[in-house]
Structure 1
Amino acid sequence: MARFTFKLPDIGEGISEAEIVAWHVAVGDRIEEDQQIADMMTDKATVEMESPVSGIVVELAGEVGDQVSIGAALVVIETEAAAFSAEEAPALRIDPPSEVKVAPASAEQAEVAEQYEAENPGVEEATPSPSPLRGEGWGEGLPQAPAPDTAPLPNPLPGGEREQEQKALASPAVRARAADLGIDLADVKTDSDRVRHADLDAYLRYGQGQGYQAPHAHNARADQPIKVIGMRRRIAENMAASKRAIPHFTYVDEIDVTALEDMRADLNANRGQRPKLTMLPLMIVAICKAIPAFPMINARYDDEAGVVTRHGAVHLGMATQTDAGLMVPVIRDAQDRNVWQLASEIGRLADAARSGKASSAELSGSTLTITSLGPLGGIATTPVINRPEVAIIGPNKIVERPVFDGDEIRRAKLMNLSISCDHRVVDGFDAASFVQELKKYLETPVLLFAD
């Protein structure tokens, strides 16, 4: 018998460490060569680690969420072969990952989920519908939280108190209300032969001094400690770094998209075999047409080097909600694509991100990002910049309202458009002027197809 130490290999992305997001083996397990043993996450991708030997697992490097340095021991395996020398050990370097893979839930998360299901039978989690962006109009729908179980629980009472409650006369409705409030009917004073709703109201108003206690939280669910790991931790770190390092400001304006929506409907009616157009491809065309006059918007700021790079090409990041969290696949050279090509690329990248098949290259290198909450966008949003970019655009939901058109009132489709900028690089005047240029293209959509 001999022990083989499997060290974390160089994943090939220039990283110094990776995070454990899932273990597929435990100490004492017998494993075979090429069996998956762990999922490790880098800045962009989740990589599956496979064992180069067969044997019994005797040591693991840490718990889910821990960081492991490149070259450090990840797993120690007891094998039946002779001990490996440094020269004879199997090669451990692997190729760079081509896909992002969503790691399964940790054992801790699975245990919490099983406990929740046991305590809440019949409650099913809503399944989100696919959406290229977060919300409708740019996709369709968002995941909704499961509805709470509102069935009242019985109010346990000691034997003597239970007998007293049974002696108190009250209608079924009053008894149900008292049970919901956690009130013992025997403690409620009444001037009649039975307890009424008015007596409960008086008890709630004045009963505190008589030893009344606040109602029990019968419908409260158990607390669920969820460890922040993997993609969720990357998102948290990136957002915190962005807000900490970048002085944000947000500008919002209202845009009349009535003509744009009419044109979109005409294009879809005559699209043939081409993909159906959402508002997003048309918005991207407008952005690409407006950018040349405002190059400070399509830029990245290296604050350590003190250098702002104004990019000639528009590599547009598209904030996409997935089961693993928010991802930003990138539409390369958006300025060279027409609306139909943009629609196809949007669908392809959104599907790749949702299925966990987006490559590292497809999730990096954006120069400007667009994000939307669709019908949940409300009046306005203040999106957080995707660092090291210097701006992010956030269209909000489209609503119909009456507007004045000269002396007449007409029905219009209106949309608020937000833009958050890095005030170290972009002045407020520039941001407002850029949005006004976008407004010109979106309110006069024929300009989108003019040279």
Structure 2
Amino acid sequence: MARFTFRLPDIGEGIAEAEIVAWHVKVGDRIEEDQQVADMMTDKATVEMESPVSGVVVELAGEVGDQVAIGASLMVVETEEAVAEEAPAAEAPVAEAVEEQVEAETPGVPEVVEEKPSPLQGRGLGEGNSPQAPSPVDMPLSPTLSPEGEREIRHVLASPAVRARAKDLGVDLAEVKHDGQHIRHSDLDAYLRYGSGQGYHAPHASRAREDEAVKVIGMRRRIAENMAAAKRAIPHFTYVDEIDVTALEAMRADLNANRGARPKLTMLPFLIVAICRTLPDFPMLNARYDDEGGVVTRHGRVHMGMATQTDAGLTVPVIRDAQDMNVWQLASEIGRLAEAARTGKIKSEELQGGTITITSLGPLGGIATTPVINRPEVAIIGPNKIVERPVFVGDDIVRAKLMNLSISCDHRVVDGWDAASYVQALRKLLETPVLLFAD
């Protein structure tokens, strides 16, 4: 017998360490060559680690949330023959039978009964620039017995947060109807209101939850670190202006009514077209600031970051060369990237290289937002909720659809006059939407 030390390989250029976000094995497990053993998160991606040898797991580097340096021991495996370097002998031999061992699982995730979906490979960042973590592992509910006594598995996809809430409410997620692959909080809300046949139970609604200490790991740690760094390093200022989108909304409705097989248009593609058309006159906004080098790079092409909410947290996929796309192409790319981010299939390169970001809460958007810049970018644009209000047009009062538009800028690079002038240029295009399609 020999012991093989599996050292954490270099999994990204310039990466010094990586965080353990999930263990798929425990001490005492028998593993095979190429078997997935852990998920490691760097500043840019989450990578699946596969064992290069077969054998029995003797040691693990740490717990979920711990950092492991590149080249340090990640796992020690006892093999039948010497495969590569051998680790020093352990002080005590591994017991032949390990009883009642606790699996080193991701906190809050129950044991897998069936084969689980593969975690995200190569994810990166969240709000403003947080790197990406894999979507929470979706696990099946506990087995039940059929009338014939045969064991069957009821496999339901939902995030740990949804599962915890359902457990507190005493809801069987297998009974909750939903669209798509995952059960979301909105599906659970709909079930509580209409689907249970019993309505919402007041005792559950009024019961106080116990205090809970949650370790900040994975994506939440990356979001926390990057947001803190952005606010520390960047002197933010936010400018907000009101835009009349009545004509734009009418045009959007007409285009959707005649779209055929093309994707449905939201407001976002129109905003991106307007942003791309106005940026050439405001090059200081489509830029990245190198703090250490003291250099601002003004980019000629627009790689549009698109803040996207997922079950694991906020991610920012990048629409590359957005300036070359029309509204239909943008709608298609927005849908593709958003779906890939939410299902954990986003590629690492699709989360990097943004030059300016747009962030929107859609219909949840409030009166105004003060978004945090996606460092090292220097500007982020936040459209807010569209509301219908009476406005004066000459001596007449008419109904209008109005939307506030926010822009946060890095005051080291962008002056207030520049930000205000830029939003006015956007306003002109959006209030006269035919200009979006003019050469």
- After TM superposition, the score normalised by the length of structure 1 is 0.75
Shift of 1:105: 5.4
In the alignment, the residues of structure 2 paired with residue 111 and residue 341 of structure 1 have an alpha-carbon distance, to the nearest angstrom, of 35
Shift of 1:33: 1.6
- In the alignment, which residue of structure 1 is the partner of 2:3? 3
* Shift in CA distance, 420/103, structure 1 to aligned 2, threshold 3 Å: closer
- In the alignment, which residue of structure 2 is the partner of 1:200? none
Is 1:112–1:224's contact at 8 Å kept on the other side of the alignment? no
- Deviations, residues 257-305 of structure 1 (Å, cap 9, x unaligned): 0000011111112222221111111111111111111111111111211
Query: What percentage of residue pairs aligned between the two structures are identical?
Result: 75
In the alignment, the residues of structure 1 paired with residue 241 and residue 185 of structure 2 have an alpha-carbon distance, to the nearest angstrom, of 25
Letter in 1 for 2:73: A
1:43-442 equivalent positions in 2, closer than 5 A: 43-82=43-82, 84-85=84-85, 99-100=122-123, 102=134, 104=136, 120-122=169-171, 151-152=202-203, 219-442=207-430
In the alignment, the residues of structure 1 paired with residue 342 and residue 320 of structure 2 have an alpha-carbon distance, to the nearest angstrom, of 19
In the alignment, the residues of structure 1 paired with residue 203 and residue 416 of structure 2 have an alpha-carbon distance, to the nearest angstrom, of 54
Which moves more between the two structures, 435-444 or 76-85? Answer: 76-85
* Shift in CA distance, 448/307, structure 1 to aligned 2, threshold 3 Å: same
- In the alignment, which residue of structure 1 is the partner of 2:18? 18
Letter in 2 for 1:44: K
Which moves more between the two structures, 252-261 or 235-244? Answer: 235-244
Shift of 1:83: 6.1
In the alignment, the residues of structure 1 paired with residue 10 and residue 303 of structure 2 have an alpha-carbon distance, to the nearest angstrom, of 29
Shift of 1:233: 1.3
* Shift in CA distance, 49/331, structure 1 to aligned 2, threshold 3 Å: same
Which moves more between the two structures, 407-416 or 230-239? Answer: 230-239
In the alignment, the residues of structure 1 paired with residue 327 and residue 56 of structure 2 have an alpha-carbon distance, to the nearest angstrom, of 56
In the alignment, the residues of structure 1 paired with residue 341 and residue 168 of structure 2 have an alpha-carbon distance, to the nearest angstrom, of 33
Q: Secondary structure at the match of 1:274?
A: coil
In the alignment, the residues of structure 2 paired with residue 396 and residue 275 of structure 1 have an alpha-carbon distance, to the nearest angstrom, of 22
Is 1:22–1:104's contact at 8 Å kept on the other side of the alignment? no
- In the alignment, which residue of structure 1 is the partner of 2:91? none
In the alignment, the residues of structure 2 paired with residue 361 and residue 74 of structure 1 have an alpha-carbon distance, to the nearest angstrom, of 26
* Shift in CA distance, 106/222, structure 1 to aligned 2, threshold 3 Å: farther
In the alignment, the residues of structure 2 paired with residue 73 and residue 425 of structure 1 have an alpha-carbon distance, to the nearest angstrom, of 43
Is 2:230–2:375's contact at 8 Å kept on the other side of the alignment? yes
Equivalent residues, number? 366
* Shift in CA distance, 82/450, structure 1 to aligned 2, threshold 3 Å: closer
Is 2:288–2:377's contact at 8 Å kept on the other side of the alignment? yes
Is 1:22–1:40's contact at 8 Å kept on the other side of the alignment? yes
* Shift in CA distance, 224/124, structure 1 to aligned 2, threshold 3 Å: farther
In the alignment, the residues of structure 2 paired with residue 326 and residue 218 of structure 1 have an alpha-carbon distance, to the nearest angstrom, of 30
* Shift in CA distance, 27/103, structure 1 to aligned 2, threshold 3 Å: farther
Shift of 1:388: 0.5
Shift of 1:326: 0.6
Shift of 1:151: 3.6
Gaps of 5+ in 1: 87-96, 131-140, 154-216
Q: Which has the larger radius of gyration?
A: 1
Letter in 1 for 2:61: A
Is 1:398–1:413's contact at 8 Å kept on the other side of the alignment? yes
Q: Secondary structure at the match of 1:21?
A: strand
* Shift in CA distance, 127/63, structure 1 to aligned 2, threshold 3 Å: farther
* Shift in CA distance, 104/53, structure 1 to aligned 2, threshold 3 Å: farther
In the alignment, the residues of structure 2 paired with residue 81 and residue 400 of structure 1 have an alpha-carbon distance, to the nearest angstrom, of 74
In the alignment, the residues of structure 2 paired with residue 401 and residue 376 of structure 1 have an alpha-carbon distance, to the nearest angstrom, of 18
**1:41 is aligned to 2:41:** yes
* Shift in CA distance, 358/440, structure 1 to aligned 2, threshold 3 Å: same
* Shift in CA distance, 85/285, structure 1 to aligned 2, threshold 3 Å: closer
In the alignment, the residues of structure 2 paired with residue 273 and residue 83 of structure 1 have an alpha-carbon distance, to the nearest angstrom, of 56
* Shift in CA distance, 66/414, structure 1 to aligned 2, threshold 3 Å: same
Shift of 1:14: 2.8
Q: Secondary structure at the match of 1:37?
A: strand
* Shift in CA distance, 254/145, structure 1 to aligned 2, threshold 3 Å: farther
In the alignment, the residues of structure 2 paired with residue 443 and residue 103 of structure 1 have an alpha-carbon distance, to the nearest angstrom, of 39
Letter in 2 for 1:376: L
